Structure formats: C-alpha cells, structure tokens
Amino acid sequence: MKKRLLPFALCLLPLFNTFSQAPIHYKQPARNWNEALPVGNGRLGVMTFGRVNEELLQLNEETLWSGGPVEKNPNPDAIKHLPAVREALNREDYEAASKELQKIQGLYTEAYQPLGNLLIKQPFDAQPTAYFRDLDIQNATAHTQFTIDGVTYSRELFVSAPDQVIVLRLTASQKGKLNFSASTQSPHPMSKLVVGKNELSMRGKAPAHADPNYVSYNAKPVYYEDPTGCKGMRFDWRVKVQTTDGKVTADTSGISISDATEAILLVTAATSFNGFDKCPDSQGRDEKALVESYLKRASGKSITAIRNAHIADYQKFFNRMKLKLGTSGEAAFLPMDSRLMRYAQMGNDPELEALYFQFGRYLLISSSRPGGIPANLQGIWNPMTRPPWSSNYTTNINAEMNYWPAEPANLSDLHTTFTDWIAGAAATGRETAKNFYGMSGWTVHHNSDIWGASNPVGDKGKGSPSWANWSMGGAWLSQHLWEHYAYSGDENYLKNYAYPLMRDAAQFCLDWLVKDANDNWITSPATSPENVFITEKGVKQSVSVATTMDMALVYDLFTNVIHASEHLKMDADLRKTLEERLQHLFPLQIGKKGNLQEWYKDWEDQDPQHRHVSHLFALHPGHYISPLRTPKFTDAARKTLEIRGDGGTGWSKSWKINFWARLHDGNHAHKLLQELLKLTGVEGTDYANGGGTYLNLFCAHPPFQIDGNFGGTSGIAEMLLQSQDGVINLLPALPDVWATGEVKGLKARGGFEIDMTWKDKKITRIIVKSAFGGNCRLKLPNVLTNAKFQTAKGKNSNHFFQVFENKYQTTTPEAGSFVYDLSTEINKIYILGGN
Ligand code: FUC
C-alpha cells in the first residue's frame, strides 16, 4: 500500500489550543467561483481554485474601477422638480409625486473591475491522490496539496501587506519533478503583455464606463474609449519568478519552469487611481513605478522573511480577539462541504459558528486596510466586468453592514477606510445637494463608488424611485463617523474630521425637513428602501412622506451631532436648532397589527416579508428602541419582525440576527444564524429565497455579497455584548446552545475591552480593560464579585466603575475626567414618539 500523507490540517491538530480552529479545508478543487478561496491584503485579492492541472488564480486590485471623477451636475433640469413632488405629496397624489421624482435622477455609478487571471498549468497524466486544499485564517494562507506517481506537490499562497505582493510557492517532494507554466489573461481588451526576464507584465486600461448589470438598453454596456479625457484608469500587474532551482524561460505564452523542486512566484499590481477627484489617466499615479518598487523590495527578501512579516502583520489584527462558543467534537475536523451539509441537517456545531465570526474578521482584514478603499459589495473579490449591482456601495444597508463588525470585533483601525472614503462622497454630495435640490450640506443617495458618486442614480429618469431617490445616505454614513469616535475616543479625529462632516450632513437634513399639517417635521419625498405600500385605494406606491426609516435616521444624526457639539463645545446655536427639531419630529407609530409602522400611514405592504427591514433602523443599527428603555416600541419592533419572517437574502438574515440580539432574544438570533449558515448553491439573483452560505463560506444573497458575512459577525458580537444603552450589557442575547463559552477582546463604546468566561449562562470571570479611562457601567446576567478593571498604562485612571447585577439603573455617573462617556446615551434621551 502506498504511504499517504496526512492532510495538512490534521497534521496540525495537536497544535490547536482551546481557541484554535482547524483550517477550512476540502478534499477536491473548487468547481466554481463560490467554491474558490479568498485571500487578500486589503488591496490585492486572489481567489484560488486549487485545481490540479490548471490552477486558476483570479486577481483583483481594490482601486481598479471603471470611469473617472463624477459629473457634478449631470441633470441640470432636476432641480426644477422638487416643488412639484412636494405639492403632489401634499395632495396625497403619490402617483404624480413618483413620476415627478423620477425626473430628479442623475447617472449610474461605475463598477468594480477584475484585474485578470493567472493560470498555473501543471499537466499530469495520472489522477491525484491525497488531494487537499485549505484556507488557514489563523495565518491568512491557503494551501493545495496532492500526490501523483509518488510525488507530493504543494502550493502555498498568501498576500502580504508589508511587502505588497502575492506569494505563490510551489514544491515537489522529489528533486526536479516540478514542471509548470504560468500565463496571464486579461478581461480588458486594451491590455498588452510585455515579457521581461523571468517576468510577465500585463498593462492595460479599465473601462471608461460599465453599466450596472441590471441595465440592458445600451448597445455597448462596457466601453473603453474615453471622449472626456478623464475616464479609464491604467493598470499594470506582474508575475515574476523570485527563486527556483529549475530552468526558466519566458515568452508571450507565459513563463515555463522545468525540472525544479521549488519555485516562488511574486505577483503584484498597481493602478493609476489617484483619488476620487483626479483624472485617473492624465492626473494618475505612476503604476509602473509602483509595481517595480514592490517587486524590487520583495525580490531581495527570503520567503521566510516575507512570510514571517505577513503573518505578524495579519495577526496584529486577527489575534486581538478569541472566541469559544462550545465544542463540536469531530465535526470540527470535517471538510467544509461535509461540515456545512451536516450543519444544515443537525446544527450543533458551535465551533463552526465561532469560525464564521472569525471568518468575517478575516475577510475584513483581507479587504480593508487603513489608507485603502472600503470593502465593496464583494469585498475586493470579483471576476466580472459587470458584476452584480456593479459591486459598488449601496448605502441603504449594504455598505454600512460591511463595517458593523469593525468596532465591536476589535478592528477599529480598519473602519477608517470607510470613514476616510466618506469625505469624498461628502464632497460630491455637497454638489448633489446644491445641484439637485438647491440645499446646503451634503447627502448621498442609495449608490456610490470609488469616485464618491452621490446623485440619485437611474440614468435621468429610468430608475425606480423606490430605490434610486432615497436621499438619506448622508445621515446613515454619518453614524459611522460618530461610532468610530465612540469606540476609539480619538478627539483629534472627532474635532477635525468627523464632526464637520456630521454637522454638514445634519445641515442638509435641516434644509430637507418640511412641516406637515399637524406641525410635525417630516421628510418629503420619502421612501422606505426598497419596499412598496398599498394605498387606501389599493394602488401600489413607493413615494410618500416621513417614512419611519427617514425619521429614525434624522433622529440618529441629530442626536449624535448634539452630543458631539456639546462635547466639543462648538456650535451652540446649531445645537439649539437641532434640539427644537427633535421635539417636533414626526414620531414613531404603532400600527393596527401592533407592529412598528413602516410608513407615514398604516398602509399594507405589497410584500409583507420584504427583505429590507428599514423601519427598524431605530432598533439596529440605531439606538432609540431598546428593551431597557422603550418597552412599547420594543414590542412593536418584535411584532414587525414576526410579520417579516425569518426568510430573505443573506444580508437580510444577517440584519435580523442583529435585530433579535437587540431584542435580547438569543435563541431567535441563533435560529437566524443557522439560516444564514445554510448551505446554498444558488447562483443567480434571488431576492426572496436561497439566502445562505456558499461552500467557500461567502454569503449568498444570492449571488455572493460580502455584507451578509460582515452582518453575521456583527450579529454574533451583539449577542455577546451591547453598549448602546449607556451600560455595557454582557451576554444580552445568549442562546441556550452557547451556555458555556469564552471571549477575549470584544470592544464596547467608551474604549472598553472585555474578556469574559461564562458557564451555564452565568458569567464566571470578567476583565475590563480601559483604553482611556472614563465611566464604566456593566450589566451582568448574574452576581459576580471578582470583576477586574485594568486601565491602560499611563492613561487616566479616574474612572468610575459600576456593576449592575441584572438590573439597569440610570444614576448620574461620578464626575471624572473622561473622553467618551457611555452615559451620554442615558443622560439625554430625546423622545421620538413618547413611549
Ligand atoms: C439593495 C438590495 C438588494 C441588493 C443590492 C446590492 O438594492 O435591495 O437586495 O443587496 O442592494
């Protein structure tokens, strides 16, 4: 009998401590993209298929998008129509309002682009044995290994952030048995392959424009010609043999390596993108110089040095948190396909649930690094020139969901790619506010891109207002500006960056609000993304006034601006105005079914189980509705969720995990987590069913959207800790199946970091670390006497530490010198509906 090598993961078994995971692994190559495995360093992304004879590495670079800086005023007629929209809404003529609103539309956004394919051809006559591939998220490295004719071939793949290169190391277990070729493919016709010494360089241009995949009326949906001189960025990506003991030849068909035992390839890429407002070609960066510098630096280093630096850099983020939610026994060592199938039938795999949490963190670290571009609808992984929904930023839920886990899951610094990007969107959003509505401040509508697009999309009248004309993106994005401060306590960031943007987003809302007949401030027009109501006359409409989500967003933004301006001692007059508006905002309503009403009136929904649950923004990610403070609205929110049901797209299920966690119903949140982790193979677009998880653990809308992964990670964090109610509420939504567990490094607002252990649903040990002092209140499910509090060295230790056992109190904190005070949430509560 032939000696079979133990699969890589099983070799590592003894090394696992209680928190470690067996790598995600499979016994066969990927059959399609949703089975390939993602690796990345924030900027460069690779999907590896693990094929034997022809390995496919599908490549991305985060800045490679179609188009160029946005047109500031693409529809100069748009501004004329708002008065007529409002007038129609006053008459309750929703049909006329909708038609008129459609005239207030600009252009579609641009699309995220693939970079190309690297093919590794390693043709064998015989079939492999002992095939194995994995993704090790502890080290951010993927492996493929198989044996043919007694020779074991292995491939190791990782993407280094310190060295900005993709590293592929191929080996054969017997000397001289490694023979392969590496060749390149570009999806962009304006590409040219340049052959150098041991090196291939693919140089080309991204499209000048790419239509969204749902637009089908243009003869040329993707084009490269650029009449404006300001669209279409350049790219250069290179493959270089760093070291090998074999023979190397290179020509236009690729690089060939023969009679080798080992070969290390370096791949890197750069584009000429130079900022959201710069022509990507004429004002672009020198992409050739960039790739050359990356290759030069990495070529001089040993693979051990590159690998060690990569792992140290990755673990600097990843190792901040540990999570254990129970033990899974042998299930933990199943290949991922068998494991997901088993889970769909039997559940009971808490280590898979903890792995899913960490996988979300892995994906954020791999797709979002400071100084870069925010993770888009697919993170950074996309093989299509017209990807679903342009793989752009949809601000009515998806883009924000990507960043929900950043703060609680201890990746605050990665949140800055998103908060930094907001400045560009706000800059174009200022033009949009002025040119489309004649208003001050800034806003973003439901779609954006690397160019910070902010206009209502729809190609000047072809989009449905139910999504295209939602105007509250500025308010929702601003929540991230504030939350980053609430967790990080970065005063300089608040004062000089976040607050001015938040204030100007509020300024737009002040201009946008109008009074209704009852003297309430309302938004007009308003939609509830992307739902449709049925009027008393039985007509289906989407445009009305004062949708619940709009009012909750305005409330959230105004209260955050008030807190920030108070803290900074700035803009007292503005604060007063905002406080006055809050007194008379159109309040939340409870409908006849006992639900939180979605619309201005208690209309029926066209689709009562619609995937968006926009009207629960005030429950999550807003803070207004809480079982601790607003019991009536809490009950109404629960009713709303019951009516909506547990179905929907992947991201919809993720959002519902967060909602049920905020309702403190851990078992229901866990049921949704099981739904989210349900294996699906559905490829096309499905809005109602099939939301779940692909074999590679990517979330299925379907199709793949990364938001559901991130929303799932955030949901698990919300089940274990919440800090939005003026208190750090520990285990607020613990499901029965996670009765015993342990977490390290969960973050709370106010800069607190929590390590805790629990047994039989009772906390047995807590350590609270404080980054910058301040008042700390804890709410525990049980009595505990040995909580420990550690203040960061050299920081203010004048904190006030209170532990509440299973009760919630709103006592005034002792005076201390603190940066962010959790109590802002409870000391000043504005009423949105008089609960
Ligand atoms: C919104 C959602 C869709 C999809 C898209 C990216 O339009 O309604 O389901 O997630 O964003």
User: What confidence tens digit (pLDDT) does each residue in 82-100 have?
Assistant: 999 999 999 999 999 999 9
Pocket test for ligand 1, best of 391, 396, 397 (most atoms within 8 A of CB): 397
State how far the Cα of 482 lies from the Cα of 407, in Å rounded to an integer. 11
Domains present along the chain, CATH in parentheses: 8-66+114-319 (2.70.98.50), 730-832 (2.60.40)
Ligand 1: centre distance to CA 87 (Å): 30
> What pLDDT shows up at residue 586?
95
239: tokens are: 């493959």
| Residue 266 · residue 295 · CB < 8 Å | yes
Query: Whose CA is closest to 517, among 59, 175, 92, 805?
Result: 92
- CA torsion sign for 458, 463, 467, 469 is positive
Ligand 1: centre distance to CA 783 (Å): 44
List ligand 1's pocket residues with C-beta within 6 A: 377, 389, 394, 398, 467, 530, 611, 649, 651, 687, 701, 705
List, for the chain, all residue ranges whose pLDDT scores fall below the cut of 70.
1-21, 688-689, 774, 784-835
**Residues in contact with 251: Cβ distance below 8 Å, sequence separation at least 6, in sequence order:** 195
At 766 the three-state DSSP class reads strand
- For 86, list phi and psi in degrees, rounded to 5: -70, -40
> What pLDDT shows up at residue 815?
32
Peptide bond into 408 cis (omega under 30): no
**Residues in contact with 598: Cβ distance below 8 Å, sequence separation at least 6, in sequence order:** 528, 531, 533, 547, 548, 549, 605, 614, 615, 640
The number of the ligand 1 atom at minimal distance from the alpha carbon of 707 is 10
User: What confidence tens digit (pLDDT) does each residue in 239-266 have?
Assistant: 999 999 999 999 999 999 999 999 999 9
For ligand 1, atom 1, name the residue with the nearest CA.
394
Ligand 1: centre distance to CA 680 (Å): 18
| DSSP-assigned states of every residue in 292-347 | HHHHHHHHTS-HHHHHHHHHHHHHHHHTT-EEE----GGGGGS-HHHHHHHHHHH-
State how far the Cα of 32 lies from the Cα of 36, in Å rounded to an integer. 7
For ligand 1, atom 8, name the residue with the nearest CA.
530
> What pLDDT shows up at residue 826?
37
| Straight-line distance from the first to the last Cα atom of the chain, in angstroms, rounded to the nearest whole number | 75
State how far the Cα of 443 lies from the Cα of 428, in Å rounded to an integer. 9
> What pLDDT shows up at residue 20?
63
At 791 the three-state DSSP class reads strand
Ligand 1: centre distance to CA 526 (Å): 18
> What pLDDT shows up at residue 769?
83
For ligand 1, atom 11, name the residue with the nearest CA.
394
Q: Which residue has the tokens 């002025």?
A: 434
